[in-house]
């Protein structure tokens, strides 16, 4: 069906149902996402970007990617984080070999694509880089961290509502081995969980925003929303962050900076316990992103993403207060 005719039909249906123009506009956004197969990437300073291009632009791509290919990329990521800056030239050349056009600006990128991966490793840039994408009404996935502060994440979600453009953010560790069993109810109601991941520190970001977010996202995927207080024990090599949920459930995150790196955890349920791990790669996340591009429906709710960021920000405040509990709701308000 021609898109204009479809949108008119949706608008009429929304009016009849009393939903108003915003609902019709959202349906139009979803329709645009469903017909677009050209993806763009902002930021070539992370291996995630290369992994996504390798999957989508393979000589014989898997049918599960539904025909999406990365058509263009704007390579500029961080300008002052050395580990990121040094990756850009190599990753740029790598994706060019896979048919990706390199653009000189985000506006130029947006002229060539229908949907966008924001892959810049530096969360401080995400608000400024996300705004033109949202204004252009291009469905947007933002890789971890959604932003380098809770304040910036709030601004991104506000802009997404203003421009009626779908957006979501997630770590690939949300889809770690075993999580499907937890979510399907194999161990019954989750009564607690403990997760772990590396927690490398980067001076430009709040401590857990840079890398610890992987394990924190795993924790919230298992526990859900409702965390009310956060406290943190910090040493040179380890962080242990404890959250107490509104129903008195307890979840903990262990961030490591020594010993062999790994990702995983244990989830405690009414019917038993379940071990999480290992991490098996980016395909489960990429599948969710492609489904999101097709439907415009975010697989992770705004409220959960905001709690994840508040949890990490609260952990920094607790560290400053020598481990004292910090009220999550005061941050979210």
68 pLDDT tier (thresholds 50, 70, 90): very high
Asked if residue 182 belongs to a domain, the reply is yes
Mean model confidence pLDDT for the chain:
91
Same domain, 164 and 189: no
Position 29 pLDDT exceeds 60: no
Asked if residue 292 belongs to a domain, the reply is no
Same domain, 145 and 243: no
Same domain, 188 and 142: no
What distance in Å separates the CA atoms of residue 243 and residue 249, rounded to the nearest whole number?
Answer: 8
Q: For the residues 139-153, what does the mean pLDDT come to? A: 97
Position 4 pLDDT exceeds 60: no
Per-residue DSSP letter, 18: T
Position 16 pLDDT exceeds 70: no
Pairing verdict, β 69-74 and 272-276 = unpaired
314 pLDDT tier (thresholds 50, 70, 90): very high
Position 30 pLDDT exceeds 50: no
Q: For the residues 87-100, what does the mean pLDDT come to? A: 97
Q: What is the CATH number of the domain that holds 322?
A: 3.30.360.10
36 pLDDT tier (thresholds 50, 70, 90): low
Write the CB contacts of 189 (distance below 8 Å, at least 6 apart in sequence).
269, 270
Of 153, 80, 154, 74, nearest to 119 by C-alpha is 74
What distance in Å separates the CA atoms of residue 247 and residue 44, rounded to the nearest whole number?
Answer: 42
> What digits encode the pLDDT tens for the residues 181-206?
999 999 999 999 999 999 999 999 99
Position 25 pLDDT exceeds 70: no
Position 17 pLDDT exceeds 70: no
Asked if residue 302 belongs to a domain, the reply is no
What distance in Å separates the CA atoms of residue 35 and residue 33, rounded to the nearest whole number?
Answer: 6
Same domain, 98 and 19: no
Position 178 pLDDT exceeds 60: yes
Same domain, 57 and 122: yes
Asked if residue 298 belongs to a domain, the reply is no
Domain that holds residue 23: 1-34
Q: For the residues 221-225, what does the mean pLDDT come to? A: 98
117 and 133 Cβ atoms separated by less than 8 Å:
no
Q: What is the CATH number of the domain that holds 123?
A: 3.40.50.720
Helix axes 302-320, 213-223, angle to 10 degrees: 120
Same domain, 242 and 155: no
pTM of the model: 0.88
Position 9 pLDDT exceeds 80: no
What distance in Å separates the CA atoms of residue 229 and residue 237, rounded to the nearest whole number?
Answer: 23
Asked if residue 304 belongs to a domain, the reply is no
Task: Give the count of alpha carbons within 13 A of 180, CB side only.
Answer: 5
> What digits encode the pLDDT tens for the residues 268-301?
999 999 999 999 999 999 999 999 999 999 999 9
What pLDDT is stored for residue 309 in this prediction? 98
Burial of 260 (0-12, 13-18, 19+ CB in 10 A): exposed
**Cis before 278 (ω within 30):** yes
Asked if residue 301 belongs to a domain, the reply is no
* Between 84 and 188, residue with greater pLDDT: 188
Pairing verdict, β 326-327 and 227-234 = antiparallel
Same domain, 30 and 165: no
What pLDDT is stored for residue 77 in this prediction? 87
- What is the share, in percent, of the chain residues with pLDDT greater than 70? 89
> What is the tally of structural domains in the chain?
3
Same domain, 96 and 215: no
Asked if residue 111 belongs to a domain, the reply is yes
Same domain, 181 and 324: yes
- Structural domain ending residue among the three candidates 143, 170, 197: 170
Q: For the residues 254-263, what does the mean pLDDT come to? A: 97
Same domain, 18 and 95: no
Same domain, 224 and 236: yes
> What digits encode the pLDDT tens for the residues 44-64?
999 999 999 999 999 999 999
- Structural domain ending residue among the three candidates 170, 189, 205: 170
Of 164, 65, 158, 162, nearest to 117 by C-alpha is 65
68 and 116 Cβ atoms separated by less than 8 Å:
no
> What digits encode the pLDDT tens for the residues 153-169?
999 999 999 999 999 99
333 pLDDT tier (thresholds 50, 70, 90): confident
Same domain, 105 and 115: yes
Position 5 pLDDT exceeds 50: no
- Structural domain ending residue among the three candidates 136, 170, 204: 170
Asked if residue 57 belongs to a domain, the reply is yes
Position 101 pLDDT exceeds 70: yes
């Amino acid at each position: 069906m021609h898109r204009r005719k479809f949108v008119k039909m949706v608008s009429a249906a929304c009016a009849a149902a009393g939903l108003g123009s915003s609902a019709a506009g959202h349906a139009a956004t979803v329709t645009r996402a469903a017909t677009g197969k050209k993806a763009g990437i902002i930021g070539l300073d992370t291996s995630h970007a290369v992994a996504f291009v390798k999957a989508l632009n393979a000589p014989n791509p898997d049918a599960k990617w539904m025909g999406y290919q990365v058509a263009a990329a704007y390579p500029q990521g961080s300008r002052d984080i050395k580990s990121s800056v040094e990756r850009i030239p190599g990753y740029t050349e790598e994706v060019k070999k896979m048919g990706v056009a390199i653009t000189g600006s985000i506006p130029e990128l947006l002229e060539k694509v229908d949907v966008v991966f924001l892959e810049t490793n530096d969360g401080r840039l995400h608000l400024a880089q996300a705004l033109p994408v949202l204004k252009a009404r291009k469905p947007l996935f933002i890789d971890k961290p959604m932003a380098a502060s809770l304040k910036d994440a709030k601004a991104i979600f506000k802009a997404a509502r203003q421009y009626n453009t779908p957006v979501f953010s997630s770590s690939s560790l949300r889809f770690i081995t075993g999580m499907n069993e937890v979510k399907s109810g194999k161990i019954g109601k989750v009564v607690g969980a403990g997760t772990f991941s590396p927690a490398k520190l980067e001076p430009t970001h709040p401590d857990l925003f840079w890398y610890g977010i992987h394990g924190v996202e795993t924790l919230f995927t298992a526990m859900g929303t409702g965390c009310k207080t956060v406290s943190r024990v910090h040493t040179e090599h380890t962080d242990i962050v404890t959250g107490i949920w509104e129903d008195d459930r307890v979840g903990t995150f262990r961030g490591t900076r020594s010993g062999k790196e790994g990702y995983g955890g244990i989830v405690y349920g009414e019917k038993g316990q379940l071990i999480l791990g290992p991490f098996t790669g980016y395909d489960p996340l990429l599948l969710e992103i492609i489904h999101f591009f097709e439907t415009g429906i975010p697989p992770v709710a705004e409220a959960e993403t905001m709690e994840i960021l508040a949890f990490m920000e609260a952990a920094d405040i607790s560290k400053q207060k020598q481990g004292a509990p910090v009220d999550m709701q005061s941050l979210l308000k």
